[in-house]
Amino acid sequence: MYNNNALKIGLFGANCSSGRAVTLVPERWSGSWPDNLRLARMADDAGIDFMLPIGRWKGYGGDTDYQGATLETVTWACGLLAATQHLTVFGTVHAPLFHPVIAAKEFVTADHIGRGRFGLNLVVGWNEDEFQMFGVTQREHEDRYKYGQEWLDAIKRMWSGEEDFDFDGEYIKLKRVRSKPKPYGGTRPLIMNAGASPTGRAFAVRNCDAFFTQASRNSAGETAERVRGAKLEAQKHGREIDVYTVGVITCRRSTREAEEYYRHCIVENADWSAVDLILAKKNITPEAVGWEEIRRERTHYANGMGGLPIVGDADHVATQLAGLSQAGLRGIGVSFVNYLEELPYFAAEVLPRLERMGVREARPQAQSSLRPTA
């Protein structure tokens, strides 16, 4: 992430079975450790900038038990950081489920293993099922972010030079906290968040380096407007943030081939039973939003659970990605139906086009001066 690529590209969701494609096709992503390891090494060699996992504790069910087998993200990140050289690897952590003193130390450990390449995706949670599994009562929506603020404040103090401090929050109370070592090289891990509600967005722009938001499916102008809005909100807090999005790529030799594969996986062979369970968990029901919206949401959720679909040949995919950069986005976390099978073509055909378009470099040099200071 600490390089001159104007558009950072990462892989999103590979730690989960089926990744981000709610499909029955047999080649759907395994999410296994050997596949993740091979993928991370391949991505590292190809110049991919980051890997972003999903913090998921319980599958969604359906015919495939969508995302039913998941690798825990911080331990996953440690393994991948040890096996790679350049990539930033995020851990995605539910603040209410990880004690901050343990969490701060886990992140520092991962950061040392990766020599400064660990990133933190802080999530406050939304899935009631998962919290019940932990025996933890989910707070009201606003309070989740109040708790998240205290949790992050405590973690940042542990990462700073302070020692033996007391932390006396409304929710978190800690005595004579000592936490050594500090993050790698006097810097700190990149922090991201993807809050979508006004409270979640406000949290992200106040605290994070990277804010993930939905790109518009309608126009680049609308996406640019969203990016500008988030950056302006951050400026009001005297901060600068980078804005990212998520996408789902189907890239083939011809647009026709790509569209056919997309239709095969995501329409004809979607795991609709799982899609309906996901929608129900998010309270997207016919009663709540009407049938027309349900039909639209079903298609969006089958492919990438709402990420921007980019379907076409390499020219089309590269043009779309460059367009996102021009709209002001700093990066995109992408997924494929089968990451290992599809990344080589993407890396061979799309990345060089993005270099020629001036939004990426062939072999970017990491610059530690670009990392946030502690």
What is the contact surface with ligand FMN in residues (CB under 6 A)? Answer: 54-55, 92, 123-127, 194-197, 200, 212, 246, 333
Nearest distance from residue 117's CB to ligand FMN, in Å? 19
- Cβ atoms of 247 and 336 closer than 8 Å: no
Least distance in angstroms from the C-beta of 177 to ligand FMN: 26
State the nearest-atom distance from the C-beta of 311 to ligand FMN, in Å: 20
Residue with Cβ nearer ligand FMN (22 or 314): 22
Nearer to ligand FMN, 246 or 277 (CB): 246
Could you tell me the smallest distance in angstroms from the CB atom of residue 67 to ligand FMN? 10
| Contact (Cβ atoms closer than 8 angstroms) between residue 39 and residue 339 | yes
> What is d(CA 246, CA 10) in angstroms, rounded to the nearest whole number?
9
Minimum CB separation from ligand FMN for residue 127, in Å?
Answer: 6
CB of 120 or CB of 246, closer to ligand FMN: 246
> Whose CA is closest to 273, among 126, 69, 64, 70?
64
Pick 40 or 122: Cβ nearer ligand FMN: 122
Provide the pairing of β-strand 165-168 with 173-177.
Answer: antiparallel
Tell me whether residue 157 or residue 206 sits nearer to ligand FMN (CB atom).
Answer: 206
Shortest distance in whole angstroms from residue 220 CB to ligand FMN? 19
Specify the residue, 31 or 125, whose C-beta has the smaller distance to ligand FMN: 125
**Whose CB is nearest to ligand FMN?**
200
What gap in Å lies between CA 171 and CA 169, rounded to an integer? Answer: 5
